[in-house]
Amino acid sequence: MQNVICFGEALIDMLSTEPGTFKQFPGGAPANAAVAIAKMGGNAIFSGMLGNDMFGKYLHQSLNEYAVNTEFVRWTDQAKTALAFVSLDAEGERSFEFYRPPAADLLFLPNDFDLTMFQQSTIFHFCSNSLTDETIANSTKHGITLATQNDCLVSMDVNLRKNLWPATADYQSIIIAYMEMAHVIKVSLEELEALVDKANIVDFLQTLLTQKCQLVMLTDGANPIVCMTKNTSISVTAPEVIAVDTTAAGDAFIGGFLYQLNKQNISLINLDTFVCSEKLTQAVQFAACCGAYTVTRQGAFPALPDRVMAEKFERQGQY
């Protein structure tokens, strides 16, 4: 197996475990995805900028503890590591309050990428949180360019957080432009409805699939996951669980899916064959089990399943 690069933010989730009390957890969508891959036995690289502070050092240590490759992490004294305060409702659904910007992850520059990282990898994964200002968006675009030049599959989890965007930003146009650069996209129905008119969603996705994109995985909470390719559409039912904390559910899902690609040596070269086979359904079913398992536990990194847990959950439908 070669590597899956997960690029973007690592931050601290300050999770409200009871009213007025917050507990520190390592998190950040691409960092969560990297940990999910590594915990299940895949090869994951986290690429991003950490603040040279207690939180950045804690994140770096946590990534290493879960066997994520941190060789390509960069450090800065110019800004602190971002914080996200997370409140949960009775159903485990979360709301966020971000302390970002300023933040270390936004300071990653195009020349902070190491070309050897792409030469050792087959997948480059990113989220829209690394598009929220011009500097980090340009770096993300450069990463996509380097990935494409090295025949890496480009994966995007839209993972829209509106309160991270400046009030005047046209986040819809920016995110759509980057969706058009990706080969695999995970997006929720709620996110799509924030990006395009509800009446135009089907046409938008069909148009997207005439471009670079070969697979769209559309999630909708506990409802079935719809997977669209250039030629077909399939639906995968997620396991029924009682949610405790949904913070990293989507990251566990995409991490589980990318783990399956990594395990099966799927790259841009053979992606078209993969998405036309039964292996796609199996990979999405596995990913759905990873997401379902994660919502039954609190926190991000600690809640993500390892391979034994994920496979047991997949067999039994519960854990």
Three-state DSSP class for 170?
coil
Could you write out the DSSP letters of every residue in 241-310? ---S--TTHHHHHHHHHHHHHHHTT--TTTHHHHHTSHHHHHHHHHHHHHHHHHTTSSSSGGGS--HHHH
Query: Which pLDDT value is given to residue 19?
Result: 77
Tokens of 179: 């969706």
**Cα–Cα distance measured from residue 85 to residue 299, given in angstroms and rounded to the nearest whole number:** 12
3-316 CATH pick, 3.40.1190.20, 3.40.50.1580, 3.20.20.140, 3.40.50.12170: 3.40.1190.20
Tokens of 100: 């970002």
Please name which of 169, 193, 132, 119 lies closest in space to residue 8, comparing C-alpha atoms. Answer: 132
Tokens of 243: 């949610």
6: CB partners within 8 A, 6+ apart: 30, 31, 33, 34, 37, 44, 45, 46, 47, 125, 126
Handedness of CA 25, 26, 29, 35 (dihedral sign): negative
For residue 54, report the phi and psi dihedrals to the nearest 5 degrees.
Answer: -60, -35
Query: Which pLDDT value is given to residue 319?
Result: 38
Q: Report how far apart, in Å, the C-alpha atoms of 115 and of each of 30, 64, 147 are.
A: 19, 22, 9
Residue 154 bridge partners (DSSP):
124
Q: 29-39 and 249-263 helices cross at what angle (nearest 10)?
A: 50
Query: Which pLDDT value is given to residue 90?
Result: 63
Handedness of CA 174, 3, 210, 205 (dihedral sign): negative
Q: What is the pLDDT along the chain (319 residues), one digit of tens a residue?
A: 799 999 999 999 998 877 778 889 999 999 999 999 999 999 999 999 999 999 999 999 999 999 999 999 999 999 999 999 988 776 666 678 899 999 999 999 999 999 999 999 999 999 999 999 999 999 999 999 999 999 999 999 999 999 999 999 999 999 999 999 999 999 999 999 999 999 999 999 999 999 999 999 999 988 999 999 999 999 999 898 998 888 899 999 999 999 999 999 999 999 999 999 999 999 999 999 999 999 999 888 999 999 888 888 778 754 3
Query: Which pLDDT value is given to residue 259?
Result: 96
- How remote is the C-alpha of 183 from its chain's centroid? 14
Residue pLDDT, tens place only, 149-185: 999 999 999 999 999 999 999 999 999 999 999 999 9
Query: Which pLDDT value is given to residue 221?
Result: 87
Tokens of 113: 């990428």
Query: Which pLDDT value is given to residue 92?
Result: 61
